[in-house]
Every structure is written in structure tokens, then in C-alpha cells.
A and B are shown apart, each in its own frame.
Chain A
Amino acid sequence: ETGVTQSPTHLIKTRGQQVTLRCSSQSGHNTVSWYQQALGQGPQFIFQYYREEENGRGNFPPRFSGLQFPNYSSELNVNALELDDSALYLCASSPLAYTGELFFGEGSRLTVL
């Protein structure tokens, strides 16, 4: 039990739709990172938020966007869904922006048809 919860756990969308995934961080953690994990691959860094500001981004297009709220919960939004967006989306919270231990949620599995 990491104290990080994600919702929904599973969802199915069709191409072109939009999706919002949510993450509730562990209490006291002001940093959250989002990762995309395709089947059989390691996770890929999407972006990180620290105190409600994006402070790092991986190689993902602008249709991947995020928010972090004052209570440090977070959202990942993906617009104009493509088939290749089908993956497990993981969030991880940390008490430190750069070097803290990470606490992962169980993930949201997105299928795009």
C-alpha cells in the first residue's frame, strides 16, 4: 500500500476522444510524475509537476497535458486519442522533486479502439 490512488483503473475509448486520468498523491508529497507503459515495455516519462507547476516533460506531444491541484492531486489529460495511446498510465508521488523515493499508484489501463 503506497498511499497513491489512481482512477479509473480501466477504461476504453475510441480514436479521437479525450480522456482524463486522476491521481491522488500520498499525503505530504508535493511532486507527482506521470508515466506511460506500453505492453512489454518499461515506463516512459511523460511529465512531472512540482507545487502545481510543470517542471519537466518527456518526449510526448502537447495533446498530453496535466494539472496539479493545491491538495497535490493530479490529472493527466490526453486529447485526440490515437491507437498507440493504449497503455498503462502510472503516476508516482515523491516528497522531493529530483531525488526522492517514488511511490507509485496501481495505474490506469487505457484501451483505445
Chain B
Amino acid sequence: KNEVEQSPQNLTAQEGEFITINCSYSVGISALHWLQQHPGGGIVSLFMLSSGKKKHGRLIATINIQEKHSSLHITASHPRDSAVYICAVSSNSGYALNFGKGTSLLVTP
């Protein structure tokens, strides 16, 4: 069983919809990362958080340490948001990132 589970695996939304992607993990962590990967492979770091909530533009990330759960929200979704969104955690033991399998998001006009 992967230490990081994401849901849903695939998501299709219409432009303008509010989107939520969930991430659950089973180990103690020092930080949780939300990443965006476009076709072709490059990964961009969206958020790194260890508590509470962060906001950047239309993106909001929250984390509940007690429940070992994080969510990524996209408000007023746009077709350019179409990508794979990956949750990854840095465990308390240090260096390695454990990745979820990703959520493939398609936003249609």
C-alpha cells in the first residue's frame, strides 16, 4: 500500500467549476508538497506546507496534521489548469519524498 493516496484518480470539470483534490498519508511528515505536472513531464511546485492553509491566486492548499489529510482546491477552474496534480510528503525520517500517483485533471471550455 502506497503511503500517499490521492483521490480522485481522474477528474473532468467544466470551466468555472470549483475543484477539490484530496491527499491522505500514513506516516509522520515534516512537509507536504502539491506539485503540477503538464504533458511532457516538467513538474512545478505549487505549495509546500506543514500546517494550516496557503493560497496562491486561484489555488488553495490545506492540511490537517491530526487527520493526515490535505486538499488542493482550484477556484474558477480554467482549461489551462488541465494537468496532473501530485501530492508528495517528506517523512519525519528525512530526505526522501513519497509521491502519490497523481490526479489527472481535465477542464473543458
- Residues of A whose CB lies within 8 Å of any CB of B are 2, 33, 35, 37, 40-45, 48, 55-56, 58, 88, 90, 92, 97-99, 101-107, 109
In the bound assembly, the distance between CA atoms of A71 and B81 in angstroms comes to 35
Binds A, one of B12-20, B35-43, B61-69, B70-78: B35-43
CB of B99 within 8 A of chain A? yes
Question: Contact: A106 with B40, CB < 8 Å?
Answer: yes
Residue from A41, A98, A106 within 8 A of B41 (CB atoms)? A106
Distance from B108 Cβ to chain A, minimum over Cβ atoms (Å): 22
Question: Contact: B45 with A45, CB < 8 Å?
Answer: no
Known contacts A42-B86, A98-B30, A102-B33: does B41 contact A109 (CB below 8 Å)?
A: yes
Question: Contact: B97 with A102, CB < 8 Å?
Answer: yes
Residue from A40, A101, A107 within 8 A of B45 (CB atoms)? A101
Instruction: Report the nearest B residue to A45, measured CB to CB.
Output: B96
B interface secondary structure, majority? strand
Instruction: Report the nearest A residue to B92, measured CB to CB.
Output: A98
Residues on A with C-beta less than 8 A from B97 are 33, 35, 43, 45, 102
Sort chain B's interface into a size bin. Answer: 20 to 34
Question: Contact: A99 with B96, CB < 8 Å?
Answer: no
Residues on B with C-beta less than 8 A from A106 are 40-42
- Counted as pairs of residues, one from A and one from B, with CB atoms less than 8 Å apart, the total is 66
Distance from B103 Cβ to chain A, minimum over Cβ atoms (Å): 11
Question: Contact: B43 with A90, CB < 8 Å?
Answer: yes
In the bound assembly, the distance between CA atoms of A103 and B95 in angstroms comes to 15
Question: Contact: B42 with A48, CB < 8 Å?
Answer: no
In the bound assembly, the distance between CA atoms of A37 and B88 in angstroms comes to 13
Instruction: Report the nearest A residue to B30, measured CB to CB.
Output: A99
Residues on B with C-beta less than 8 A from A92 are 43
Known contacts A41-B101, A98-B30, A102-B33: does B96 contact A58 (CB below 8 Å)?
A: yes
In the bound assembly, the distance between CA atoms of A43 and B84 in angstroms comes to 12
**Besides the known contacts A43-B43, A88-B41, 19 further A-B residue pairs in the complex with CB atoms under 8 A apart:** A2-B42, A42-B4, A42-B88, A42-B101, A45-B98, A55-B95, A58-B96, A90-B41, A90-B43, A101-B45, A102-B33, A102-B45, A102-B48, A103-B45, A104-B43, A106-B40, A106-B41, A107-B41, A109-B41
